[in-house]
Amino acid sequence: MRRVVSALVFALAAGSAGAAEPVDITIGVVPSLPSAPTYLAIEKGYFRAAGIAATIEPIDSAAKAIPLLASNHIQVVEGGLAVGYFNAVAQGLPVIMALERGSSPVYQKIVLRPDLKGVIKSVADLRGRRVALVAPGSIVVYELGKVLESAGLTLDDVDIKYMPFPAMSTALANGAVDAALMIEPFTATALEQGFAAEWIDADAIVRPQPLALLAYMVNTDWVAANSDAARRLFVALVRGGREYCQAYHHGPGREEVIDALLKYDKTLTRARLEKWPWQARDPNGRFNMASVMDVQDWFFKHKMLDRELPSTRLVDRSYADAAERELGPFMLVNKASPLPGCR
């Protein structure tokens, strides 16, 4: 069931050409910590001020939502870089990545069944083991593949089991899988409840860095009909992203960000959000293009893509440029923060 979260649009700011009709969009969101900027754009009225009436559609992964994006049933998808995205662009479908939504440090860890802690000591020990991933063709397939390659293994050397993130804890607990590549908050929950044992942080192995992991992907047919609204939409998301970055560094607005996350994700708690590491992102939504191209190259080499495309076909950098022009340079408030990322 779709949940309308921003249904009214106020008049544009004083000095504009008068009130405008709201532009309706549906945003496919994988509920997780990186969703906070979208929630902030709703709660703080950034979408309203931009003339956007937004509806959130919860999705399991971007990989599964690409067909909905390409058919314009969903105008924006928030999720990981996926094979489906690259193939959609190669097929000439109307999709493109507009902003980066998450990058290193991503705190995506491979965790183990607790009884295997000390048994599986190195990446090479994963040979023949059952490993849970969220979806075929998703960015975590690339991450696991790069981790395995560090020990001379390939995806064929493990038994991959695909399942949603919330199901991984149960699968680890009942012995259905030996390891899982999980994201926050699911990782921390599994560790706290004793369903998993901490093992490897993929960031320590995957190169190049920072890893371009998550994106806002947009339907370009919708953009063609709503170009100014698209610009305003992504400026609003960058505003939310910058506030998230300040909170990531324990600066101003952290409680506000936590409040928004708690409102939209009932599985979270304030204590956990204060304790868990938060995923980083670029405060202007800029991609590390070396990482984007490496992801595409890896999928192509492993015969998941039919062909490779130039960076200009994969990412529209104009939205990050427009946001920085309108909002000015990002200035970190808590300059004493030692945390990498979100700078």
Looking at residue 233, its pLDDT comes to 98
Name the pairing type of β-strands 52-58 and 23-29.
parallel
Q: How far apart are CA 246 and CA 167, in angstroms?
A: 32
Looking at residue 188, its pLDDT comes to 87
Region label for 34, one of left (φ > 0), alpha (ψ between -120 and 50) or beta (otherwise): alpha
Residues in contact with 108: Cβ distance below 8 Å, sequence separation at least 6, in sequence order? 140, 143, 181, 182, 183, 187, 201, 202, 203, 213
Residues in contact with 142: Cβ distance below 8 Å, sequence separation at least 6, in sequence order? 81, 295, 298, 299
Strands (E), the chain: 3-4, 23-29, 52-58, 76-80, 95-103, 109-112, 130-133, 159-162, 179-182, 197-201, 212-219
Locus of tokens 């069931």: 1
Residues in contact with 102: Cβ distance below 8 Å, sequence separation at least 6, in sequence order? 34, 213, 214, 279, 280, 281
Domains of the chain by start residue, with CATH? 3-103+211-327 (3.40.190.10), 109-204 (3.40.190.10)
Looking at residue 19, its pLDDT comes to 55
- Residue 217 pairs in a beta bridge with 77, 97
Q: How far apart are CA 37 and CA 41, in angstroms?
A: 6
Q: What is the pLDDT along the chain (343 residues), one digit of tens a residue?
A: 444 444 433 333 333 334 578 999 999 998 888 999 999 999 999 999 999 999 999 987 787 899 999 999 999 999 889 999 999 999 999 999 999 999 999 888 999 999 999 999 999 999 999 999 998 999 999 999 999 999 999 999 999 999 989 999 999 999 999 999 998 778 988 999 999 999 999 999 999 999 999 999 999 999 999 999 999 999 999 999 999 999 999 999 999 999 999 999 888 889 989 988 899 999 999 999 999 999 999 999 999 999 999 999 999 999 999 999 999 999 999 999 999 999 9
pTM of this structure: 0.90
DSSP 8-state symbol, 315:
B
Looking at residue 95, its pLDDT comes to 98
Looking at residue 15, its pLDDT comes to 35
Beta carbons of 193 and 269 less than 8 angstroms apart: no
Q: How far apart are CA 22 and CA 7, in angstroms?
A: 8
Beta carbons of 176 and 103 less than 8 angstroms apart: no
